[in-house]
A = this chain, B = another copy of it.
Amino acid sequence: MSELKNDRFLRALLGQDVDYTPVWMMRQAGRYLPEYRATRTRAGSFLDLCKNPELACEVTLQPLERYELDAAILFSDILTIPDAMGLGLYFVEGEGPRFRKTVRSEQDIADLPRLNADSDLAYVMQAVRTIRQALGGRVPLIGFSGSPWTLACYMVQGGSSRDFRQIKTLLYRSPELMHALLGKLSEAVTDYLNAQIRAGAQAVQIFDTWGGVLADGAYQDYSLAYMQKIIAGLIKEHEGRKIPVILFTKGGGGWLELMAGVGADALGLDWTVHLGQARARVGERCALQGNMDPSVLYADAPVIRAEVARLLAQYGPGNGHVFNLGHGIEQHVDPAAPRIFIDAVHELSASYHS
């Protein structure tokens, strides 16, 4: 593998010295880019694009051609695992993911196959290898998975939800079934992330998109505990480098102290959290990744720069910060805006690093 030319992202996740704050954007390969839409059209459906390693590589690299990003992230979906388990993932335009089969009964859970990520999700591993090759050491590649709780939400509900009625009924009426499902998913996620690391992912992020819909107490038992289990089972080092783990629970700002204790190297923050307060709460235990509201990218350049300046000042001087958006970049953003954002992070952060 080629030498890594820009390792600021990996260093920042581990709290090491950097000359400026590294930045990437969740969903940086996406519909706001015309070149993405063109590749997507060639691929067919969104899922066809995810399952085509060459095209997945192409879109992964597109934002790097435009912007001075400090990391690439594997182009894929968070629901590849349940899809590989046979639930039949598909997408309804404007309504998000759906499954043809739901998982609600003891039998449904027992019937879920045990996956081997290297073979059952070979297309993902092939994409990771292809992207690493194409990156040629330019920036590190991030692998990822949905959290067990987040995967379970989609599997039990059969798609997105407002009230999460089916899965919460399962949780509160049949906690033992809920734990059985989450246990199976934790094993699958651990295997999946380890396969990505072996294929070349240099950091991994666990997306706990729906952890924030859980009550305090339930979050600890049904989401955080399983993410802790996964982290404990991950490959710690590969190609002679530590593989940092980022934990991101959207809406989880109230639980940062707990999240800091489960072995992750960095915590993702949504934009409701004050960066300086989060840093004080978490201390030296974890780096922080975040957290500008992606809607700021609808603003004019001076407002974008001012927001970047405000957030850098909130975090303050020193290491352990990766700049990002608090959620995925939105499809209606003008592609000129991320450049203003990314360049502002680099330019304005230098003075915070010695």
Contact = CB atoms under 8 A, between A and B. Distances in A.
Given A165-B298, A295-B163, A215 B272 contact: yes
Interface in A325-351: 326, 330, 332
A296 B172 contact: yes
Nearest to A213: B272
B330 A163 contact: yes
Contacts of A303: 172-173
A218 B168 contact: no
A214 B274 CA distance: 12
Given A216-B272, A274-B216, A295 B168 contact: yes
Contacts of A164: 295
A293 B253 contact: no
A232 interface: no
B212 A168 contact: no
A330 B165 contact: yes
A168 B216 contact: no
Contacts of A217: 274, 310
A271 interface: yes
Nearest to A295: B168
A273 B296 contact: no
- For this chain, the copies found in one complex come to 2
Contacts of A271: 215-216
A283 interface: no
A219 interface: yes
A300 interface: yes
A332 to B, nearest CB: 6
A67 to B, nearest CB: 20
A38 interface: no
Given A173-B298, A298-B173, A165 B272 contact: no
A291 to B, nearest CB: 8
B254 A274 contact: yes
A116 interface: no
Nearest to A211: B272
A263 interface: no
Contacts of A180: none
A330 B162 CA distance: 11
Interface of A: 163-165, 168-169, 171-173, 212, 214-219, 251, 253-255, 271-274, 292-293, 295-296, 298-300, 303, 310, 326, 330, 332
Given A172-B296, A217-B274, A254-B274, 5 more contacts: A164-B295, A165-B330, A165-B332, A169-B295, A215-B293
